Structure 1
Amino acid sequence: MSTNTLLILDDDVTLTTLMTAVAKDLGFEVKHCEDGRQFIDAILAWKPSHLAIDLVMPSIDGIEILKTLARMDCQSSIILTSGIGSVLLPLAQLTALEHQLNIRGILHHPVLPHLLQKLLADHPSVDLHATDHTQVVKPLSIDHESIDAAIRQQQFVVYYQPQIELFTGEVIGFEALLRWQHPQHGIQLPELFIHVAEDTGQIEALTEYVVVTGIQFIQSISSTLCLSVNISAKSLHNDRLIMMLEQVCQRFAFDPARMILELTETATMLDTQQAERILTHLREQGFKLSIDDFGTGYSSMSQLAALPFTELKIDKSFVTTMEASSKSRKVIASTLKLAESLGLETIAEGIENSMAAIGLRELGCRFGQGYFFARPMDAAASKVWLSHWNGQR
């Protein structure tokens, strides 16, 4: 990769001129594009050290540009620019986090030269919401105290990803996904903090928050859609999960049959007798049970037959590789046959394009979710998406 090179994707002449001047003062060589395809071609040919991307140009899909950069394994430092709306900003942050892109920061209009200088000089990332100053952010410490403070300060939020009936295109529900909206570090994914919450016992409070928030969201948009919630293995150690779920459903008059509890394969193996007792009780109360990330753990036919699951979720690692890997397709096909023999519904995650959706449907998978339909969104964006989706059908 070349040193001190900047490629700009923007159609604002004033902003482009400003960024070019600031970058050249720092010794950068600068090039500029207004077309997304030309921008990608220029990256491949030039391999710039830095990129500046306007996410809200009318002629491009900014999120799709980020996904393309991820597929290219782009190592450039990326600066996002423009007056990003409340819906697009979290989507951009999540895309960057989930695909491990090197986002240096986000600059809002009007762009201030000294903020741009800091980003181009590879100083620590600035506050995503900065308007007139930079802020050096210390590394995020995740422990009992920081999680407790985040709970008290209401920094945890729930995002939602729709689940689709692959044969009809009908939305059948949403999966609730916990995020930590840190004031300095932005959106943090559960992989970074859930294991700490499990060790400290705070997972129970977080799970209840997701359940309560998720129910309120679902009830605000539909009387029939389902809500999927991830359940930690630690929650199967005692009856507090049962009591919490029953009390919350009673409090909001929410039918347990509309809630799908997702558990990983390994979760049910820590204490199989305890897991079977708790899951059987929940199933008797009407809750549906999904075995998540199937194919990546250690489940056996006997375990699947013994536990009262109602749904089998195909892991995204197989779905995202099914077009290129015959082994992945064979795993998916055999998993679907297994689910059918056990009377389980099937849902696939990680559907990123129409070919995957069509391929899964042809193999007999009934439900699916993934970026092809929608990425995880906050409640407001989810409502807008649902209205738009239903309006197109």
Structure 2
Amino acid sequence: MRTNTLLILDDDSHDASLIAHEAQHLGFEVRVLDDAKLFMDAFLAWKPTHLAIDIVMPSINGIEILKTLAQLDCQSSIILSSGIGSDLLPAAQLVAIEHNLNIRGILYQPFHQHILKNLLTDQVSVDLHARSASDASMQPFTVDAQSIDDAIRNQQFSLFYQPQIELHSGRVIGFEGLLRWQHPTLGIKLPEAFIPVAEKTGQIDQLTQIVIEHGFNFIRSLSNTLTFSLNISAKSIKNHLLTDALVEASQSLEVAPERVILELTETATMQDPDEAQHILSQLRAEGFKLSIDDFGTGYSSMAQLAKLPFTELKIDKSFVTTMETSSKSRKVVASTLKLAESLGLETIAEGVENTLAAIGLRELGCRYGQGYYFARPMDQATATTWLGQWNHQF
């Protein structure tokens, strides 16, 4: 059996050295490069058993690297890495799998040694001359009640934070908390991979409680003018204990309800409008704010929406990302902003990905924005650092 070898492509010498050190400790031969051409030359000449690729680098297109490896019939086990909060990684992982690459998993920064070790040693024990059909990275990601329970017990669920910006001043007004499942070998999984299952199995309230606890602890450490937004499932709306859980957390963690914004989709509120009105009115009475999430994608009537005690309307990113190229999308955004104004609602647009979108929304009268143009979702430590460095300009 040949020696395990690892070829690293990373433009951050510190991160690369951490990966290299752990791999060498496990008996790997290691080479580190920060140039895409040199990396491909080394790959062809050395034929390493493992690759570690930083998928997000200023001068290198990581997706193209993966596609090129696929064209070369790469048999190496691949670990994808990148900066904290990069939502490109799950997409890159899907691209790699679609091209039949052998993805071991995702390594987020800051690196956790035990995860890196698992990604490397899980492959050491198998035949390195052949791709194993049973390899964990090639298996479908199956979610059931037991796997969710295990993930909760092992604290694999965490919250990433994306800032929300006042468009006319550049001031940060708050953060949205986005739940992620940090799977030890398959990388980060987004909510659409597990929330529907949790709703069916009755575990959604446990996940909501994780979001509440993590988010409230984060926001209490920041300026008391900043808000925290969290998504509420349609199933949770029917749970009368939701209000009690939020009130209890607000009191015990000393976070004023006025700093908390509960985001609900149109569909969630329309499944049982009368029940939704009752629960949402309770929450508003306690001081919590309410946001209509993904507005414009559902089928609710204006009359029904007007009856519910919302304080904010969130414009769906499908309209925001196309408003500069589609006159129809721009008209939808403009009319939505007028509707929100007539109902006395604050407005926030998600999916702000460039300067034109930010300026265009501001000119139309949208007060707040959120999207990759300002920042990707980040873990708590990175979000705190980012906040301290934000210069209010865009």
Please tell me the TM-score bracket, short chain as reference. Answer: 0.7 to 0.9
Q: Name 2:152's counterpart in structure 1.
A: 151
Report SS of the residue matched to 2:104: coil
Whole-Å Cα distance in 1 between the matches of residues 235 and 179 of structure 2?
Answer: 17
Separation (CA, whole Å) in 2 of partners of 1:99 and 1:320: 21
Q: Deviations over 1:23-42 (max 9, x none)?
A: 2466xxxxxxxxxxxxxxxx
Q: How many residues align?
A: 337
Letter of the 1:91 counterpart:
G
Match of 1:23 among 21, 37, 44: 44
Q: Which residue of 1 aligns with 2:95?
A: 102
Q: Give the TM-score, by structure 1 length.
A: 0.77
- Change in Cα spacing, 1:233 to 1:76, as seen in structure 2 (3 Å) is farther
Q: Using the TM superposition, name which of 365-374 and 218-227 deviates more.
A: 218-227
1:333 is aligned to 334
Structure 1 residues without counterparts, runs of 5 or longer: 1-7, 27-50, 105-119
Contact preservation (8 Å) 2:290, 2:310: yes
Q: 1:140: how far off? A: 2.3
Q: Helix, strand or coil for the counterpart of 1:351? A: coil
CA displacement, residues 315-356 of structure 1 (integer Å, 9 cap, x when unaligned): 000001111111100000000000000000000000000000
CA contact under 8 A between 2:104 and 2:186: conserved in structure 1? no
Tell me which residue corresponds to 1:165: 166
The alignment status of 1:382 with 2:392, answered yes or no, reads: no
User: Where does residue 223 of structure 1 map in the other structure?
Assistant: 224
In 2, Cα distance between the equivalents of 1:363 and 1:391? 20
Q: Aligned-pair distance for 1:292?
A: 0.3
The whole-number CA distance in structure 2 between the counterparts of 1:388 and 1:103 is 34
Q: Hey, what's the Cα distance between the residues in 2 that align with 1:239 and 1:191?
A: 24
Tell me, in whole angstroms, the C-alpha distance in 2 between the residues paired with 1:303 and 1:374.
34
**Is structure 2 residue 299 aligned with structure 1 residue 298?**
yes
Aligned-partner residue type, residue 102 of structure 2: H
Query: For 2:159 and 2:192, how far apart are their aligned partners in 1?
Result: 15
- Confirm or deny that 1:125 pairs with 2:104: yes
Conserved 8 A contact 1:127-1:134: no
Specify whether residues 252 and 121 from structure 1 end up closer, same or farther in structure 2 by C-alpha distance, changes over 3 A only: closer
Residues 54 and 362 of structure 1: CA distance in aligned 2, closer, same or farther (over 3 Å):
same
Provide the C-alpha distance between the structure 2 equivalents of 1:272 and 1:262, rounded to a whole number of angstroms: 16
Give the alignment of 1:262-341 within 5 angstroms.
Answer: 262-341=263-342
Q: 1:252-286, CA deviations, whole angstroms, 9 ceiling, x for partnerless residues? A: 12110100000000001111110000001111111
Letter in 1 for 2:198: A
Letter in 2 for 1:125: R
Cα distance 1:146–1:14, how it changes in 2: closer, same or farther (>3 A)? closer
1:368–1:127 distance in 2 versus 1, CA, 3 Å: closer
Structure 1 residues 212-221 or 120-129, which shifts more?
120-129
Q: CA separation of 1:11/1:387 partners in 2, compared to 1, >3 Å: closer, same or farther? A: closer
Q: Distance in 2 between matches of 1:385 and 1:81?
A: 30
Note closer, same or farther for the CA distance 1:100–1:333 as it changes in structure 2 (3 Å cut): farther
Letter in 2 for 1:123: N
AA aligned to 1:376 is P
Mapped partners of 1:14, 1:184: distance in 2: 23
Give distance in 1, aligned partners of 2:167 and 2:106. Answer: 41
Q: Check conservation: 1:53, 1:80, Cα contact below 8 A.
A: no
Structure 2 gaps of 5+ residues are 1-8, 14-30, 71-75, 108-115, 124-134
Partners of 1:226 and 1:199 lie apart in 2 by: 30
Change in CA separation of 1:329 and 1:145 when aligned onto 2, cut-off 3 Å? same
Q: Which amino acid aligns with 2:89?
A: A
Q: Do the aligned partners of 1:322 and 1:329 also contact (CA within 8 Å) in 2?
A: yes
Per the alignment, in what secondary structure is the counterpart of residue 235 of structure 2?
Answer: helix
Deviates more, 1:132-141 or 1:149-158: 132-141
Q: SS of 1:91's equivalent?
A: coil
Root mean square deviation, CA, Å: 3.4
1:77–1:102 CA contact under 8 A, matched in 2: no
The 2-side partners of 1:322 and 1:270 are apart by 30
Correspondence list, 1:30-49, <5 A: none
Counterpart Cα distance in 2 of 1:166 and 1:316: 16
Q: How does 1:241-260 map to 2 (within 5 A)?
A: 241-260=242-261
* 1:360 equivalent in structure 2: 361
Task: Identify the residue that residue 350 of structure 1 maps to in structure 2.
Answer: 351
Are 1:91 and 2:85 matched, yes or no?
yes
Q: Partner letter of residue 180 of structure 1?
A: W
Offset of 1:21 from its aligned partner?
Answer: 3.8
Structure 1 residue 219: deviation in Å? 1.1
